[in-house]
Amino acid sequence: MSDIVNGLDNLLSRMNVAESVRPILTFLIMLAVVFAVFFGVLRIGVRAGWMSRNTASFWGFVSPWLVGFLLFIAGPMVYSLVLSFMDWDLLDPAKFTGLANYQHAVHDPLLGQAIKVTLIYAVVSVPLQTILSLGVALLMNVNVRGINVFRTMWYLPSLVTGVAQTVLFIYVFNPDFGLLNGALRLVGIQGPKWLFDPHWALSAVILMSLWTVGGNMVIYLAGLREIPADLYEAAEVDGAGRWRTLWNITLPQLSPVIFFNVVTGLIVAMQTFTQAFVLHDQAGLGNSLLFYVFYLYENAFALFKIGYASALAWILFLMIMLLTALMFRGSDFWVYYESQRPSRRRRRVRVS
């Protein structure tokens, strides 16, 4: 591959192409060749009768995504897996070390702290986001004049995320002139230092995560609109109150949506990075905000331990896969799908 890249670069150099433009032109030429070969194979396949014209059209339409997936997702993932068994600092040639990076991870105390911080954040923030967003969606699921204004007000904060959100909350959580401590002083409470105190920093970041509940609220509103109205009418005829209707109709019917938001929220929480990256220079915080992905980033781009960082990436991948699998396994006990037949366990009836 390097010989092909060097050959194209030399060809462009002889054509007096500017040096700054050569890399992108080399990539575009290689990409054009890949597509030309791909469509050539499809054309031969149709003419030889290996595939129908509709099948060839399907592969032709999905080819941009397929090539992008192989080049920018699957390819780097495989490459990082190979690097996880090597020692490489970006400057010297990579050296194969076997399982040394994974063995180092087992005895790395900072990795244990990173896993602890990340799991605490995920376990606390995801349920809080779920409860708050679901509660807001229930409140917003009414047909009154001006309700769209309130829905928009709840959704708008979810558009301000990442670095902008973190910088905003640095001022909100400021212990001297911050908005939160100012409100607490009005009721006679002396607020903590929040992001400037290692004992309160993680709690402050968890509170920051509630800023974007409006995104999940919209999804819950869509789910609430899909619940059949005749179920509520039957419950009202039977004399069911609001709480019983919520527990026996709304939540079971909404359980697939809740499950979706919980799983995606857990995956996002396990990959938290921006808050730690922006706040890690705060004096006195130590490792209280040492999130897993930030620790991975530090190893890769501050310490140049590319092999170890790749191993950490695959450990995180396995952790997320395990947690997701446990969530799916536990969903059998509380997620209700109307089109799915009850399992044998659910159909079992106790005979006295």
List, for residues 114-132, the tens digit of each pLDDT value: 999 999 999 999 999 999 9
63 Cβ contact partners less than 8 Å away, ≥ 6 residues apart: 35, 38, 39
- Cβ(279)–Cβ(201) below 8 Å: yes
What Å distances lie between residue 20 and 7, 14, 23, 54, 216, CA to CA? Answer: 17, 14, 7, 42, 44
Measured distance CA(63)–CA(143) in Å, rounded = 45
Work out the pLDDT band at 347, boundaries 50, 70, 90. very low
For residue 285, what pLDDT is reported? 84
Residue 15 domain boundaries: 2-83
| Domain end point (choices 83, 114, 142) | 83
Q: Give Cβ neighbours of residue 192 (< 8 Å, ≥ 6 apart).
A: 175, 199, 200
Domain final position from 83, 116, 137: 83
User: Has residue 95 been placed in a domain?
Assistant: no
Q: Does residue 140 fall inside a structural domain?
A: yes
DSSP reduced 3-state for 88: coil
**Are 186 and 223 within one domain?**
yes
Within this chain, do residues 109 and 56 fall inside the same structural domain, yes or no? no
pLDDT score of 346 more than 60: no
For the chain, the straight-line distance linking the first and the last C-alpha, in angstroms and rounded, comes to: 73
11-15, 196-200, 264-268, 346-350: segment of lowest average pLDDT = 346-350
312 and 222 fall within a common domain: yes
pLDDT reported for residue 1: 63
User: Do 203 and 284 fall into the same domain?
Assistant: yes
Kindly report the backbone phi and psi dihedral angles of residue 143, in degrees, each rounded to the nearest multiple of 5, phi listed first. Answer: -105, 85
pLDDT for the residue numbered 341: 55
Mark whether 286 and 156 lie in a shared domain: yes
Question: Mind listing the pLDDT tens digit for each residue in 76-97?
Answer: 999 999 999 999 988 888 999 9
Characterise 304 by phi-psi region: left (phi > 0), alpha (psi -120 to 50), beta (else).
left
Residue 88 lies in a domain: no
Confidence bin at 339 (pLDDT 50/70/90): low
Please report which confidence band the pLDDT of residue 2 belongs to, taking 50, 70 and 90 as the band edges.
low
Q: pLDDT grade, residue 283 (50/70/90)? A: low
Whether residue 144 sits in one domain with residue 284: yes
**What is the separation of C-alpha 231 from the centre of its chain, rounded to a whole number of angstroms?**
35
CB 173 within 8 A of CB 147: no
Q: State whether 35 and 124 are in the same domain.
A: no
Contact residues for 19 (Cβ-Cβ < 8 A; gap 6+): 13
Residues 193 and 139 occupy one common structural domain: yes
Q: For 309-338, what is the mean pLDDT?
A: 92
Element (H, E) at 86: strand 86-87
Mean pLDDT computed over 251-272: 94
Q: Report the pLDDT value the prediction gives residue 3, as an integer from 0 to 100.
A: 73
Residue 40 covered by a domain: yes
Least Cα distance to 70 among 106, 104, 38 occurs for: 38
Domains held by the chain: number: 2
Farthest-apart Cα atoms in the chain, separation? 90
Give the residue from 83, 114, 132 where a domain finishes. 83
Domain-embedded: residue 277: yes
Whole-prediction pTM: 0.85
The pLDDT assigned to 349 comes to: 40
> Which secondary-structure segment (H or E) carries 14?
helix 2-14
